Amino acid sequence: MDRLRIYSWNVNGIRAAAEKGFVGWLKRCRGEIVGIQEVRAQPEQIPEELRAVGIQEVRAQPEQIPEELRAIKRWHQHYSIPERKGYSGVGLLSRREPDRIETSLGEDRFDVEGRLQLARFGRLVIANGYFPNGSGKDRDNSRIPYKLDWYRALFDRVQRLRRGGYRVLVMGDFNTAHREIDLARPKANRKTSGFCAEERAELDRWIQAGWVDTFRRFEPGPDHYTWWSQRFGVREKNIGWRIDYVLASPAAMKFVRAAFIKPNVKGSDHCPIGVDVDPAIFG
């Protein structure tokens, strides 16, 4: 096998995604590892077809996972669920069993939101994250300080993994468009969380530290987005944001052969993204 495919997808609610064909997509996608974000279900709400195979760690009762997901075969599964119901959450589905999965950044204020999985497969570590949005309850930018603290805590963690000799891929919904090319209307959104200067500067810090935006390594052009407002006609007009990424450490980037966005795959307000890697990345 020349390449293996690793996906990331904010499914905007696993139960809704299951009703819109997620399980069929999963069976067709030929993925080796699939990280999902914004699960928004207690484990017992994960569809049965997914739940039947290998939930290694959950933070609540498992009967909420939709039945069709619980029953799906040949996938190892792990879900990190927040304390607050109907909110956040991430999941990891993999053909191969991970050696270890961790979900903690070491602070309760981060861990209670169930936003992270660190999965080790040999020398590869996948950090599957649902990065916080900076918007507060009143649609202000009051959560930006928390968001940036979360970014920095994860940065410190994955930097340690790099120094430990691991090949690291950080993937998920980063909730930030990095450059003007990464959203359709940059001028109108300079004060909107997701494109504020301090959020973009944090992504700059990651890139300056050597992390590689895998998609931009292969595609420098405009009009490539991963999220669209659900307002009528917005997605059809491709008025979107690129806020989902796979960032690779330099050691991992040596094994990345392609990066992609799949805008035609529906079922969420986000679309799947990912990378194709040389199988030697696990070694």
Residues taking part in catalysis: 173
The answer to whether the CB of 101 falls within 8 A of the CB of 92 is yes
What is the dihedral angle through the alpha carbons of 19, 94, 164, 171, rounded to the nearest 10 degrees? -30
Residues across the chain? 283
Cα of 107 vs its chain's centroid, Å: 20
Beta bridge partners, 7, equal: 34, 274
What Å distances lie between residue 225 and 53, 105, 204, 211, 222, CA to CA?
Answer: 33, 29, 19, 20, 9
- Could you tell me the two tokens for 165? 């000799």
What residues contact 239, with CB distance under 8 A and at least 6 apart?
Answer: 184, 185, 228, 229
